[in-house]
């Protein structure tokens, strides 16, 4: 393990509770953020930002479980509610008030669907949280990589955008990078899905003329951007696969908004 001069820590709720403390926010990591090798880097980038600005946060760690979103959308309501109610027991047990998550699916489910089952929290997507930090001046993009002159395009995730009308926060975060933000043909409320939502990520697509992520990546590449910014683990995989499909992985990279901020800060 190479240790940087800075050391980042990841406290768990259990640790905090044991020492009688309560964090300002709970960072809900999500399954992809915990297990997917690519998305783990996003989790880490976000954790470094949280460390850097000195926010008192905690994660559930091993106590976290899938929110149940893919099960619910695939039609398995029973499994969804089992997950939801167990999670709610844990969250309420720790008296959680405020949750930040980097996954729009977790965000939507925790925010809109848990309340009816007894889980009421203030739920924030990490792009909104980052926007807040930037607005307050707590995050300044300097000291790291410069984005001047680079073309970035943002892919709206359905569960952040259309589902919850969060369109501006990720764009404002990107604006802080001083890069050249270019928009695709279908954006915001008209954005095109990456093809992974509603359980599609977990099965082969139905027969058709092409895969949805290929259609979307063609639109993204048409902007001439060298960086495709995403704010969702599923979009991340689908867009990266699309770039590979087009053999453009040498010239075009896919990053989460929090990774770009972390890079800009040299974290």
Neighbours of 119 (CB within 10 A): 22
User: Token pair of 53, please?
Assistant: 């600005």
Of 2-31, binders to another protein (CB under 8 A) are 2-4, 6-10, 12, 29, 31
Which residue's CB is nearer to another protein, number 90 or number 182? 90
Identify the CA nearest to 66 among candidates 126, 124, 110.
110
Binding status of residue 82 toward another protein by CB under 8 A: yes
Could you say which of 163, 175, 182, 187 contacts another protein (CB under 8 A)? Answer: 163
Please provide residue 43's backbone torsions phi and psi, each rounded to the nearest 5 degrees.
-55, -45
Q: With H, G, I as helix, E, B as strand and everything else as coil, classify residue 36.
A: coil
Binding status of residue 101 toward another protein by CB under 8 A: no
Contact assessment for residue 98 and residue 122, using Cβ atoms and an 8 Å cutoff: yes
Which residue's CB is nearer to another protein, number 135 or number 266? 266
Of 179-238, binders to another protein (CB under 8 A) are 189-193, 195-200, 202-212, 214-216
Of 114-153, binders to another protein (CB under 8 A) are 116-118
Helix (H) or strand (E) holding 78: helix 77-93
Q: Which stretch binds another protein (CB under 8 A): 67-75, 122-130, 167-175, 242-250?
A: 67-75
Binding status of residue 75 toward another protein by CB under 8 A: yes
Binding status of residue 65 toward another protein by CB under 8 A: yes
How many angstroms separate the CA atoms of 232 and 212, rounded?
A: 16
């Amino acid at each position: 393990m190479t240790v940087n001069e800075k050391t980042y820590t990841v406290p768990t709720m259990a640790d905090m509770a044991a020492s009688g403390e309560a964090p300002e926010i709970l960072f809900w990591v999500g399954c992809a953020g915990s297990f997917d090798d690519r998305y783990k880097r996003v989790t880490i980038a976000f954790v470094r930002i949280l460390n850097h600005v000195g926010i008192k946060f905690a994660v559930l760690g091993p106590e976290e479980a899938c929110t149940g979103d893919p099960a619910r959308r695939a039609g398995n309501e029973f499994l969804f509610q089992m997950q939801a109610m167990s999670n709610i027991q844990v969250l309420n047990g720790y008296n959680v008030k405020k949750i930040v998550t980097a996954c729009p699916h977790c965000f939507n489910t925790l925010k809109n669907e848990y309340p009816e089952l007894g889980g009421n929290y203030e739920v924030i997507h990490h792009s909104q949280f980052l926007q807040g930090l930037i607005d307050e001046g707590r995050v300044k993009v300097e000291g790291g990589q410069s984005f001047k002159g680079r073309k970035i395009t943002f892919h709206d995730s359905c569960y952040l955008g259309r589902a919850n009308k969060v369109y501006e926060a990720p764009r404002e975060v990107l604006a802080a990078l001083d890069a050249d933000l270019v928009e695709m043909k279908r954006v915001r409320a008209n954005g095109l899905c990456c093809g992974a939502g509603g359980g599609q990520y977990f099965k082969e697509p139905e027969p058709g003329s092409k895969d949805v992520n290929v259609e979307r990546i063609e639109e993204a590449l048409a902007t001439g951007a060298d960086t495709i910014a995403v704010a969702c683990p599923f979009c991340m995989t689908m867009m990266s696969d699309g770039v590979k499909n087009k053999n453009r992985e040498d010239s075009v990279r896919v990053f989460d908004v929090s990774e770009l901020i972390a890079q800009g800060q040299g974290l």
